[in-house]
Structure 1
Amino acid sequence: MASEGDKPQIEPPPASYKSAVWEHFGFPIRYSSDGHKNVDKTVTVCKICMTRVPYSQGNTTNMTGHLRRHHPRVDSSRAQVRPKQFQQHTLPSAFKQPLSSHSDKHKTITKALGVFIAKDIQPYSVVDDAGFQHLIKTLEPRYEIPSRAHFSSKIIPELYDETRSKIENKLANAKHVALTTDSWTSRATESYLTVTAHYISDWQLESAVLQTCPLFENHTSSHLADALMSAVTDWKLERPNITIPVTTDNARNMVNAIKEAAGLGPQIGCFAHILNLAAKKAVALQQTSRLLGKVRKVVAFFHKSTTAANALKVKQEMLNIPAHKLIHDTPTRWNTIYDMMERYLEQQPAIYSALMDKNIKKNVKDIAVLSDSELTLAEEMIQLLKPLKTTTTLLSTETAPSLSMVLPLKTMILKSMDPADHDSPAIKDAKAAISEDLKSRYTDPDLQDYLNRASFLDPRFKSLPNLDAALCLNVCSGVIREIIEQQGQPVAAEAGPSGSQNPPESPPVKKSAMSELFGDFFRAPDKTKTFDNIVEEEVMSYKAEDSIDTDAYPLAWWELHESKYPHVAKLAKQYLCVCATSVPSERVFSTAGDIVSASRSRLATENVNKLIFLQKNMKI
């Protein structure tokens, strides 16, 4: 037995050790030279005599035998379960106790990490990264990070369900919903169809990415129609007696899909895509194409050569020119051609000076700067394409109505394409190419009528300056008819033939003193007006209002005037939520490219949908 002075420090056994012998035994504690505490769990120490007894995990035979031989008065068989001992932790040790996975704090941190993964497009494997684990341990040492499988199978699905529920509630309260859709192919060569919804709530334009579903079949119009109808049904978007307008690109299969899908329509061709096609025809003309070829060679040279790029920086500083990098165009987007030419013109002095540098000149092959005539053509093309560039940027917004601008902008662009006496032959050809392409767009009479009504219901364009008086009147009449059909009773029938027998005349009613005195001067409103008359007067009164400034926010105007024009306001919500472009769906592509990256190309399609959904819709 150990002497009093040799008594070791004893660590109590864990609470999970239930045998009664543990009332009399513990584990010895030793301290290293640097003061670090070590608990030896290969032996136990008898609290009665301080004797060390060998111990193997889960086996209490040695301790029971020790009690029987040396301490027979102690009955270790009395209690089958060791009573729970209360142990008050010191303040430092309390902070070292790990957080229970069921505690509120642990759940809050885990949910926050799920938000971080979804919102910042992080891979699930980030929870295994050493630097990330170090950060979490520094912020909360007691928190144990769950596995990546826990996030992918539990946390992200829970966040998805929570966010989806909120959006479903908003969509259920929206009387009118419009869609945009487009398809794309991931890095893993899997095809997806993205659908976005747009609606007006409290006179604010709201939008949500509904789903990004895989397309396993060929992209025929019937398969696309089925996929769209599945989204409409899944999200409960059907509205009685109202079709859902859909904005898509101008691909034939997508146009036909909207026509085939019951309850969808009209199909609105993406105006940005239309402008892209028109501008491409202009820049594909021979003289312009040759000009762009020379610019591309110069830009590619400075992108590939680090020596040339450094020389360009030196010349930019020397000539006091903005230190901007040259822009290379993307074949599928004409606006990058505009940006490339604009940046080239800005940097032209620095480019010329850098190419003439003796250290650069010897490496320059088949590269020539633009001649004076080509520089002039480039400047003229920039001026020609500027309205199209501005229009594309303007229509790409998701926070303001855009469909109402389509026909007014088309009219303004066509007007800017009228030939001028000072135009060069190349510019005249470019203007003709753009005009010819734009004039063939939105020519369907029903679609034109729909777009004109959208413009009329926007207080910025309700005067319809792009139409003559007769067409303006037709648009007003169409709006009146639509309000009556949707919101009230049918148009009142005209009076029957006058040959019917007249009812007998009633005796004149005796007038009161008040009636005799005031007569018709203060007559009460005529309560016999039909709903048709009320709507017609409301629409014509709205038409007579002054248009607001084009920089004003039309939905703010409607919020102030809804009580004055309640029937027109309801129809305005239906039209002004429709997008002029499919850009909201196309924006998902870049997000999806970050999610389905090279390191995560095998991500399951279900996870792709949930991660895109959360990144676009979750509010933090």
Structure 2
Amino acid sequence: MSTVGSVSDSDDECSNNTSRIGKSDVWKFFEKIKNGTSARCKACGKIYKTTGNTSNLRDHLRRLHPTIKLCDLPRSSGSILPFIENKYDKFSARKKAIDNAISEFVACSIQPFSLVDEKSFRKLINVLDPRYEVPSRTTLKHVQMENLFDQMKAKLSSTLDKIEHLAITTDLWTSLASKSFITITCHFVDEAFILRSAVLSTNILLDESNHSAQNIADTVRLVLDKWNIYHKISAVVTDNDKTMIKMCQIIQKRHLPCFAHTLNLIVQEALKLDCIQPVVVKCKRIVTFFKNSNIAYAKFRNAQQPGKVYSLKQEVPTRWNSAFSMIQRIILTNDSIAKVLLGTPKAPAPLTADEVAILNDIVKLLSPFDNATVKTSSSTSVTVSLIIPIVCGLWDTMDGLKLKLETKEGFNMLAILIDCIKRRLLEYERRTVTRFGTLLHPRFKKEGFLSPQNVSEATKLLENDITLLNKNVHPANENTEPPTPTESPGHNQPLFQFLKRNIAKKIRTDRVDSILSLRNYYDSPNLHEDCNPLEYWHL
């Protein structure tokens, strides 16, 4: 057993081997150059003169590469090698913890695998923990990331096994490499009544060259079966494409058009009006001019008030509300835009007063749609219950704007928006999923609907569903009789025997329970604007 100040057997053996061979271990880390008169460090490339003496080479390793272990380095009297630091064993708990942390960082922040090849990143890790060896890009990609994926997949699978009902959203998209992918995301309420979302799959279609409804349906069904959740799907949310609607019919699942996508279609249709499109095109041309000229953009920034400098926004059809944002920003900075355009040769003509008036009307009309899109685009809160009330709000707001518009172009756009609401949005009030969502939201209840007939139909459907749910929960108690009241001995009252018979006939059924519970809920006060329906029903 070695003590402080002694040398281990392995060290003695190493020293003996070195003496026997006649060559210092230093030469494992240096190579001789210039006919043996100099040596270059293999780690950093530093060159030293040497005539066989390795003292300066050994000193270099000790100062600049303290983690390198040399058998023949001189030992300090009374202690073992204090400067020797071994790398973590590949099975070390510490190494595994850092491996997982790096993998999660790369995955969660969407970093490239090449991050681990960056010298600055390796330097950072070495400063934090010199004993940790940064993995190669190949190891990160094919070992650590796959291990992390397997861990998260097992965790999600365990969670989904406990969930009875969930919904999915899915969409097709094209990468920069012109490859088509389909992403499927599931949404559910966990045991703590917290809304959760998880991406189940991002894959190429089974037949990459075929975007038919059948091929998409086969791809989606394969993912749902893989996670064993097909029988738990309550609804599938997609865009308004007919192929996606048919896909839902093939897999026999209820389809719900994405509300935010529908709002975007309405806005795009209104902006394509013959009387509106010219001024929108002019706005695009102005923004493009500034984006393509650094000098003009610099003049534009200098023309604005100090401390209130804004940038221009470009309209992108596939990016929701981008046209609204572009027009809103142009109105805000129009004075600075006009000043630069009038003083710049070959620049587009600035907006006229009539065009600015049209843009002001467009902003008034599209602002409610922008607000509605933001409210229904959250992934952390319940939004399905907001759809019908938002449609009612849009209908009411459009009616109120009739007295606030200043141009005939604005009135024409208003007519189109109202027609689009009728054709595209009122349909949500007749859909079961959105009906139930609104009725069960303690802020809206029956008051969140536009049509009383739809309220009546939705209430009956909800009553039937709750009755069916009660029967499933208590299948043996379809008819439940109330307990017969006991009478004290000697107090028999024959005059009230009829009352006992009538009480016996009073049978409580699941439907009666459903009606009573819903009536109590509807009659209770509506909650405040910021209430969370999940918290309400969890209590």
TM-score band, normalised by the shorter chain?
Answer: 0.7 to 0.9
- One-letter code aligned to 2:535: A
Structural mapping, 1:168-317, within 5 Å = 168-201=157-190, 202-215=192-205, 216-239=208-231, 243-262=233-252, 264=253, 266-317=254-305
Q: Which has the higher contact order (CA 8 A, sep 6+)?
A: 1
Indicate yes or no: 2:520 matched with 1:541.
yes
Change (3 A) 1:492 1:89: closer
Aligned partners of 2:8 and 2:370: how far apart in 1?
A: 76
Structural mapping, 1:73-472, within 5 Å = 89-93=80-84, 96-201=85-190, 202-215=192-205, 216-239=208-231, 243-262=233-252, 264=253, 266-317=254-305, 320=306, 322-333=308-319, 335-357=321-343, 361=344, 363-365=345-347, 367-418=348-399, 420=402, 423=405, 424-441=407-424, 448-472=431-455
- Alignment partner of 1:230: what SS? helix
Change (3 A) 1:375 1:513: farther
- One-letter code aligned to 1:383: K
Is the CA contact 1:460–1:548 (under 8 Å) kept in the aligned structure 2? Answer: yes
Is the CA contact 2:283–2:327 (under 8 Å) kept in the aligned structure 1? Answer: yes
Aligned partners of 2:249 and 2:374: how far apart in 1?
A: 29
**Which residue of the partner structure matches residue 489 of structure 2?**
512
Aligned partners of 2:239 and 2:395: how far apart in 1?
A: 21
Change (3 A) 1:511 1:109: closer
- One-letter code aligned to 2:361: E
Of residues 24-33 and 541-550 in structure 1, the stretch that sits farther from structure 2 once superposed is 24-33
- One-letter code aligned to 1:258: C
* Cα offset, 1:18, TM superposition: 9.7
* Cα offset, 1:474, TM superposition: 2.6
Larger radius of gyration: 1
Aligned partners of 1:553 and 1:303: how far apart in 2?
A: 43
Aligned partners of 1:115 and 1:510: how far apart in 2?
A: 70
Change (3 A) 1:37 1:158: closer
Point out 4+ residue stretches in structure 1 off by more than 3 angstroms: 11-30, 33-38, 442-447, 467-471, 489-494, 509-516, 523-528
Aligned partners of 2:476 and 2:160: how far apart in 1?
A: 31
**Which residue of the partner structure matches residue 481 of structure 1?**
464
For residues 491-526 of structure 1, the C-alpha deviation after alignment (integer angstroms, 9 at most, x for no partner) is 9999xxxxxxxxxxxxxx97536787xx99xx9999
* Cα offset, 1:88, TM superposition: 7.4
- One-letter code aligned to 2:520: S
* Cα offset, 1:294, TM superposition: 1.7
Is the CA contact 1:203–1:556 (under 8 Å) kept in the aligned structure 2? Answer: yes
Aligned partners of 1:231 and 1:428: how far apart in 2?
A: 48
Of residues 29-38 and 469-478 in structure 1, the stretch that sits farther from structure 2 once superposed is 29-38
Structural mapping, 1:469-618, within 5 Å = 469-488=452-471, 512=489, 528-560=507-539
Aligned partners of 1:333 and 1:21: how far apart in 2?
A: 71
Is the CA contact 2:236–2:255 (under 8 Å) kept in the aligned structure 1? Answer: yes
Aligned partners of 1:328 and 1:414: how far apart in 2?
A: 29
Is the CA contact 2:183–2:201 (under 8 Å) kept in the aligned structure 1? Answer: yes
- Alignment partner of 2:183: what SS? strand
Aligned partners of 1:245 and 1:345: how far apart in 2?
A: 41
**Which residue of the partner structure matches residue 573 of structure 1?**
none
**Which residue of the partner structure matches residue 31 of structure 1?**
55
Aligned partners of 2:404 and 2:109: how far apart in 1?
A: 52
* Cα offset, 1:416, TM superposition: 2.5
TM-score by length of 1: 0.69
* Cα offset, 1:260, TM superposition: 0.8
TM-score by length of 2: 0.79
Is the CA contact 1:203–1:559 (under 8 Å) kept in the aligned structure 2? Answer: yes
Q: Percent identity?
A: 25
* Cα offset, 1:421, TM superposition: 5.1
* Cα offset, 1:470, TM superposition: 4.5
Change (3 A) 1:531 1:312: same
- Alignment partner of 1:247: what SS? strand
- One-letter code aligned to 1:36: H
- Alignment partner of 1:182: what SS? strand
- One-letter code aligned to 2:169: T
Aligned partners of 1:196 and 1:445: how far apart in 2?
A: 22
Is the CA contact 2:388–2:429 (under 8 Å) kept in the aligned structure 1? Answer: no
- Alignment partner of 1:417: what SS? helix
- One-letter code aligned to 1:159: L
Is the CA contact 1:31–1:37 (under 8 Å) kept in the aligned structure 2? Answer: no
Change (3 A) 1:183 1:292: same
* Cα offset, 1:393, TM superposition: 0.5
Aligned partners of 1:231 and 1:432: how far apart in 2?
A: 44
For structure 2, the residue ranges without an aligned partner over 5 or more in a row are 1-6, 27-53, 63-70, 73-77, 480-485
Is the CA contact 1:463–1:547 (under 8 Å) kept in the aligned structure 2? Answer: no
- Alignment partner of 2:308: what SS? coil
Aligned partners of 2:142 and 2:57: how far apart in 1?
A: 46
Is the CA contact 2:435–2:458 (under 8 Å) kept in the aligned structure 1? Answer: yes
* Cα offset, 1:422, TM superposition: 5.7
- Alignment partner of 1:174: what SS? coil
- Alignment partner of 1:547: what SS? coil
* Cα offset, 1:484, TM superposition: 2.1
Aligned partners of 1:145 and 1:16: how far apart in 2?
A: 32
Aligned partners of 1:148 and 1:16: how far apart in 2?
A: 38
Change (3 A) 1:122 1:524: farther
Change (3 A) 1:288 1:197: same
Change (3 A) 1:397 1:341: same
Aligned partners of 1:244 and 1:33: how far apart in 2?
A: 72
* Cα offset, 1:536, TM superposition: 1.7
* Cα offset, 1:428, TM superposition: 1.7
Aligned partners of 2:365 and 2:211: how far apart in 1?
A: 36
* Cα offset, 1:530, TM superposition: 1.7
- One-letter code aligned to 2:98: I
Is the CA contact 2:442–2:536 (under 8 Å) kept in the aligned structure 1? Answer: yes
RMSD over equivalenced CA pairs, Å? 3.5
Change (3 A) 1:33 1:484: closer
Aligned partners of 2:148 and 2:155: how far apart in 1?
A: 11
* Cα offset, 1:389, TM superposition: 0.4
Aligned partners of 1:221 and 1:158: how far apart in 2?
A: 34
Is the CA contact 2:392–2:448 (under 8 Å) kept in the aligned structure 1? Answer: no
- Alignment partner of 1:253: what SS? helix
- One-letter code aligned to 1:261: I
